[in-house]
Structure 1
Amino acid sequence: MAAKVPVQNDIATNTIGKHIFGLDTKGYQLGRPEYPEGLYAYLRNRGALFSNCRVFEVGPGTGQATRRLLAENVVTLAAIEPDPALAGNLRHACGDALALKVINSGIENAPLEQVSFDLGVAATSFHWVDQAKGLAAAMQLLKPNGYWAMWWNILHDPVHDLFSFEVLPLLKGVDLPPSLSGEMHEHYALQVNARLDDLRNAGFEATEYEVISTEVLMTAKQMRALYATFSMIRRLDETAREKTLSGIEAVVEKKFGGHVKRVFLTPLYLARKPRNVS
């Protein structure tokens, strides 16, 4: 079994997500791909994203989605980031945008004015949040008829992706993050009925689900950099982490000829706060 870095609380409590990604902000920013443009077009077409709207974002990380949302000329973007290192880096990463307000907090106790936002979003982050508490908090922040959108870039998926399947033996024994479960690392965002039930149970209506596919060609070094951003890899001790990442590079070189074609899935869930709920 791979050696792991000791963590004060078990990963099931999700407290690890509040600090582990900030251990290497530069590596995270370089290793993670951007979200597809079709996602933002979908939000615009549904009327959820528009100029001068007020937005809050849960778990912005290094700002992949944040920068793109700011480009839509939103009047306010409240970025709620629990990791202090990521929160401290976010304003610089987003070019000191005037519309950006960074809050080092979890969504459950973020000091924001309730019933004041047109759109709330979570980009590859909401699996770290207690769904009932997090969605209740999001509902309170939104104006009546406001939208909630949550999406994920699925970057490791042994069920649908040959490369992910090939590296599965290298990950045997690691502690899975809350985004993955089971021997085949089933992704949280592809458990569609459960995610839609979460939204409806929280009181949201007009729930929608859409998946966007993006095909990319990646080198061995790019694949190593990507996997190095995963919490299950970051938790390993230095020796085990290096062995695992070197093994991932070797899979690309030996089994895929140095380049591997990946299809990243971006599941999007969109829902609306009822008009008659304050």
Structure 2
Amino acid sequence: MTAESQLVGRHIFGADAAGYASARPHYPESLYIALATEGTLVPGADVFEIGPGTGQASRRLIAADVGSLTLVEPDPVLAVELAGLGGGVRVVNAPLEDAGLSAEAFDLGVAATSFHWVDTSRGLSMVRDLLRPGGVWAMWWTVLHDPEADPFSRAVLPLLKDAELPPSLRGPEQRHYSLWTDDRLAELRAAGFMHAAHQMHEMTVRMTAAEMRALYATFSMIRRMAPPMRARVLDGIEAVGEQGFGGVIERRFRIPLFLARKAPGAA
């Protein structure tokens, strides 16, 4: 990933925080059950989250009665929004590399649809250092645009042929970063984690064509377009939903979850 891509990810979503918050689907409860099963999303746990955005996952972490929650959010607009989540939440307005968090201070670290904006090798080494021995790192993504497995994504693919792809999508078929399972597991092991594992969660949603337009409007590759082009692409996406799918689209989103643990005796 280029330095330019990292900079884009640090400011582009705050330009429409309200639209992002309303358009993106929530994560399935099965994710949080998996974290609880690992024994780290428990009352009193010290947790940090990388790139919380508008706080979708953050709110659910708070609801688990964690002891502390530190949110590392580089976008200044989103950081202000997150500060309203209430007491016990610390917001650090900086990228992970500059956050200055204390080593071995956390039981659990998470990144929800955000870690593709971080330099992987450096970032994984940093989050490992932040965890206490035996602590758990969890990263997951909702694969919202999936031409491989989703008919709606395939139908709108021609509209996106000139888009500048974000680091989460690769190649002409726009395959999602999180679906390269072996690569992600190998990176976790290379960073010194043990018990690196992968789970695939799913959820089915029904969205109108207008809701689908609003969802795609949150994607960085569309937000980076010049306004006239963005409007044309979004008009086309809504038209696909109306004309090709009867105005209501049922989609099955895949949510790959990666879990890894810092060795109990690791420093």
Match of 1:222 in 2: 211
1:256 to 234, 242, 245: 245
- In structure 1, distance between residues paired with 2:39 and 2:72: 23
Runs of 4+ in 1 over 3 A off after TM superposition: 9-13
Q: Secondary structure at the match of 2:54?
A: coil
Aligned residue identity for 1:48: T
1:73 to 53, 65, 80: 65
Percent identity at matched positions?
Answer: 51
Aligned residue identity for 1:15: L
The alignment status of 1:38 with 2:30, answered yes or no, reads: yes
CA positional deviation for 1:109: 2.2
- In structure 1, distance between residues paired with 2:105 and 2:2: 35
Structure 1: gaps (5+ residues): 1-8
- In structure 1, distance between residues paired with 2:128 and 2:75: 23
Match of 1:132 in 2: 121
Match of 1:157 in 2: 146
Moved more, 75-84 or 39-48: 39-48
Is the contact made by 1:12 and 1:178 (CA closer than 8 Å) also made in structure 2? no
CA positional deviation for 1:88: 1.1
Is the contact made by 1:180 and 1:187 (CA closer than 8 Å) also made in structure 2? yes
1:270 to 255, 259, 267: 259
Q: Mark the CA change 1:196 to 1:47 in structure 2 (over 3 Å): closer, same or farther.
A: same
Moved more, 52-61 or 108-117: 108-117
CA positional deviation for 1:275: 1.1
Match of 1:106 in 2: 95
1:243 to 232, 237, 240: 232
- In structure 2, distance between residues paired with 1:48 and 1:120: 9
CA positional deviation for 1:100: 0.6
- In structure 2, distance between residues paired with 1:106 and 1:27: 23
Q: TM-score scaled to structure 2, two decimals?
A: 0.98
Q: Secondary structure at the match of 1:14?
A: helix
- 1:172-251 superposed matches below 5 A: 172-251=161-240
Q: TM-score scaled to structure 1, two decimals?
A: 0.94
Aligned residue identity for 1:176: L
The alignment status of 1:143 with 2:132, answered yes or no, reads: yes
Aligned residue identity for 2:137: W
- In structure 2, distance between residues paired with 1:48 and 1:192: 23
| CA-based RMSD | 1.2
- Note the alpha carbon deviations across 1:97-156, whole angstroms, 9 max, x for none: x12100001112212211010000000000000011111110111000000000001100
- In structure 2, distance between residues paired with 1:174 and 1:63: 27
Aligned residue identity for 2:14: G
- In structure 2, distance between residues paired with 1:130 and 1:30: 28
Aligned residue identity for 2:38: R
Structure 2: gaps (5+ residues): none
2:80 to 85, 88, 92: 88
Match of 2:47 in 1: 55
